[in-house]
Amino acid sequence: MDFTTSMAVVASGMRAQSDRMRVIAENIANASSTAQTPGGDPYRRKVATLNSTFDQHLGATMVEAGQPVQDMTAFREQYDPGNPSADKNGYVKLPNVNPLIEIMDMREAQRSYEADVTVMTATKTMLSHTVDLLK
């Protein structure tokens, strides 16, 4: 694999992990939101997806972020009859977001991104040394 292909593959991984972190950040930001209407559904957790595609021009498999899919697990419910979003029984639906899981997913995406940065740095160093040898 040449330097250009290596950099393109790593860059695609960095973009995909960045998009994944954006979806996770959205989940964390909405973890305690409630529905706009009484008895309505609150924010539903999204799960980032990744797709791999083969780039004919580069001859390498690239990764890209796919469309996030909604997590269809049940909403959490909390008894709070004074809340404007409460249903007729006094229960408020809360998002199906577990902040602990989101933080762990964020950490995994961050580590993958950091691994891509390490590969990109190593590739740039090898390229620089190659240029130095040609002088």
Distances (CA, A) of 11 to 16, 64, 82, 121: 9, 10, 50, 11
CA atoms within 13 A on the CB side of 102: 20
CB atoms within 10 A of CB 38: 13
- Condensed to tens digits (0 to 9), the pLDDT of residues 8-56 reads 999 999 999 999 999 999 999 999 998 888 778 999 999 999 999 999 9
- Condensed to tens digits (0 to 9), the pLDDT of residues 43-61 reads 999 999 999 999 998 889 9
Which tokens in the block code for residue 49?
């997806």
This prediction has a pTM of: 0.85
**Residue 7 pLDDT greater than 80, yes or no:** yes
